[in-house]
């Protein structure tokens, strides 16, 4: 037993290092070098064949644990933008509710370490994050978090820091961020200018003179712009604060495969959206959903707590299935030319599906009447009422061997095809001027 446990972290580290394009500190600092193939600290090409089966990691961490991630914006005494604001009293009450419900607040880095199989977490956890870099997160939220002893993460868009082209008087300063860093607060990336990252979407460009123009970028101009949003933002945070940034929160959750690839290549380990869902051991690292808490939707918080509140003892757990495994149509991140698409997913790889339990939810429509063929495992729905807006999220759920399984994905609809195109400002969470 002793030997087995000494070797486990080593195997996990090896496995992890093969999933990343960047040298992993876990591997290079690993004292175990008994295997000749790993001498020198970097995995040899032939190592893949000797990789452990995933089963081996099971004894290391509790794979039935679940986490909900919350995303807050601004704390203000008088709420004027209920979509992104909350009063300090309400915020503090929610932090207390977590404690009262027996939910442990853990750091985002601990959540990732658990998903790598390196560290255990309690059965029911929450991660708290703050987006956009508001001064009130430093002045108001931090003292409350200190009171509870809760760790948290700040997702910063760099042009929104005080002094940047979008950072006014209500913005956090680099000095305040440095103070948070010195006190162990996790600081991560949320782009440079906080916009829709997909090619060809409406964005605002600020000229050096401060003049702003609305435009759509494609081709090399888009690539240059999105590179700065995804990679430049990370580099700037790392350089200004002397930190390592490994997490990326996507503004409004608007991204696609191309953006994911850029982020992966830049060395991000995890990407976050705003489609709240319990995070399980198998949740995909490139689309971890956070619950965005807004003053006018207190039910979101209550429901999120309920989602894992009932899961102690392993009951009612939801297993997240990657949309890619279901060969969804339209695919996750795709853009379609019609507002009346045929939506399809293949559940055959899930196994043990109870036919009567298959359900599909479509954003803007709710539960839709699907057809499900138990022979092929294909669930489909032909949209009959034009989808509104330019993005659509689908949630397919079913019971498989008594357990609930669920898959989420999002596709885009070309603005020209959408029923009633809403402006970018109305579609997405407004970011009030700082």
Which residues of this protein are in contact with Zn ion, per CB under 5 A? 131-132
Task: Identify which of residues 72 and 411 has a Cβ nearer to Zn ion in the complex.
Answer: 72
- CA within 13 Å, CB half, 281: 20
Shortest CB 190 distance to Zn ion, Å? 6
How is residue 207 written in tokens? 């000229």
Relative to beta strand 342-346, strand 378-382 is antiparallel
33 CB burial (10 A radius; 0-12, 13-18, 19+): exposed
Distance in angstroms (rounded) separating the CA atoms of residues 340 and 149:
49
Distance in angstroms (rounded) separating the CA atoms of residues 152 and 105:
9
Shortest CB 225 distance to Zn ion, Å? 18
Residue in 141, 137, 199 with CA at minimum distance from that of residue 335: 199
Q: Which residues contact 242 (CB under 8 A, 6 or more apart)?
A: 181
Task: Identify which of residues 131 and 229 has a Cβ nearer to Zn ion in the complex.
Answer: 131
Task: Identify which of residues 116 and 434 has a Cβ nearer to Zn ion in the complex.
Answer: 434
Shortest CB 203 distance to Zn ion, Å? 15
Q: Which residues contact 268 (CB under 8 A, 6 or more apart)?
A: 189, 234, 245, 246, 247, 248
Shortest CB 193 distance to Zn ion, Å? 11
- H helix intervals, 132-290: 135-136, 142-148, 174-182, 219-227, 233-241, 257-265
Shortest CB 251 distance to Zn ion, Å? 5
Task: Identify which of residues 160 and 330 has a Cβ nearer to Zn ion in the complex.
Answer: 160
Shortest CB 311 distance to Zn ion, Å? 29
Q: Contact at 8 Å (CB) between 125 and 105?
A: yes
Shortest CB 84 distance to Zn ion, Å? 8
Q: Contact at 8 Å (CB) between 128 and 150?
A: yes
Task: Identify which of residues 118 and 132 has a Cβ nearer to Zn ion in the complex.
Answer: 132
**Sign (positive or negative) of CA dihedral 180, 184, 185, 190:** positive
Distance in angstroms (rounded) separating the CA atoms of residues 165 and 177:
18
Point out which residues pair with 362 in neighbouring strands: 366, 394
How is residue 306 written in tokens? 């309920």
Task: Identify which of residues 131 and 320 has a Cβ nearer to Zn ion in the complex.
Answer: 131
Residue nearest to Zn ion (CB): 131
Cα 327–chain centre separation: 21
Relative to beta strand 378-382, strand 202-206 is unpaired
Shortest CB 396 distance to Zn ion, Å? 27
Shortest CB 199 distance to Zn ion, Å? 20
Task: Identify which of residues 109 and 195 has a Cβ nearer to Zn ion in the complex.
Answer: 195
Task: Identify which of residues 162 and 344 has a Cβ nearer to Zn ion in the complex.
Answer: 162
Task: Identify which of residues 154 and 396 has a Cβ nearer to Zn ion in the complex.
Answer: 154
């Amino acid at each position: 037993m002793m030997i087995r446990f000494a070797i486990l972290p080593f195997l996990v580290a090896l496995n992890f290092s093969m999933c990343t394009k960047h040298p992993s500190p876990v591997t290079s600092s690993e004292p175990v070098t008994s295997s000749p193939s790993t001498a020198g600290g970097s995995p040899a090409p032939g190592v893949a064949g000797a990789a452990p089966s995933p089963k081996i990691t099971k004894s290391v961490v509790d794979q039935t644990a679940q986490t909900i991630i919350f995303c807050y914006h601004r704390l203000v005494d008088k709420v004027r933008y209920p979509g992104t604001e909350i009063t300090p009293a309400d915020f503090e009450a929610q932090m207390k509710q977590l404690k009262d419900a027996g939910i442990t607040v853990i750091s985002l880095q601990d959540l990732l370490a658990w998903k790598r199989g390196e560290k255990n977490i309690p059965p029911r956890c929450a991660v708290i994050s703050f987006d956009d870099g508001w001064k009130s997160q430093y002045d108001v939220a931090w003292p409350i978090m200190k009171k509870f002893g809760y760790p948290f993460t700040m997702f910063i868009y760099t042009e929104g820091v005080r002094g940047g082209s979008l950072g006014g008087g209500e913005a956090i300063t680099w000095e305040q961020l440095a103070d948070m860093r010195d006190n162990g607060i996790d600081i991560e990336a949320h782009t440079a200018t906080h916009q829709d990252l997909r090619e060809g979407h409406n964005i605002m460009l600020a000229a050096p003179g401060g003049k702003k123009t609305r435009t759509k970028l494609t081709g090399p101009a888009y690539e240059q712009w999105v590179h700065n949003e995804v990679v430049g933002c990370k580099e700037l945070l790392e350089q200004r604060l002397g930190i390592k940034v490994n997490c990326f929160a996507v503004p409004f959750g608007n991204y696609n495969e191309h953006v994911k690839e850029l982020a992966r290549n830049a060395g991000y380990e995890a990407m976050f959206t705003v489609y709240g869902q319990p995070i399980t051991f198998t949740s995909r690292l490139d689309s971890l959903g956070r619950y965005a808490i807004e003053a006018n939707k207190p039910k979101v918080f209550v429901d999120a707590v309920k989602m894992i509140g009932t899961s102690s003892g392993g009951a009612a757990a939801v297993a997240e299935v990657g949309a890619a495994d279901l060969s969804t149509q339209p695919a996750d991140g795709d853009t379609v030319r019609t507002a009346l698409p045929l939506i399809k997913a293949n559940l055959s790889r899930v196994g043990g599906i109870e036919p009567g339990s298959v359900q599909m939810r479509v954003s803007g429509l709710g539960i839709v009447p699907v057809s499900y063929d138990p022979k092929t495992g294909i669930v489909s729905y032909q949209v009959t009422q034009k989808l509104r807006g330019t993005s659509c999220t689908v949630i397919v759920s079913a019971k498989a061997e008594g357990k609930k399984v669920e898959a989420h994905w999002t596709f885009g609809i070309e603005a020209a095809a959408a029923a009633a195109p809403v402006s970018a400002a109305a579609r997405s969470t407004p970011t009030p001027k700082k």
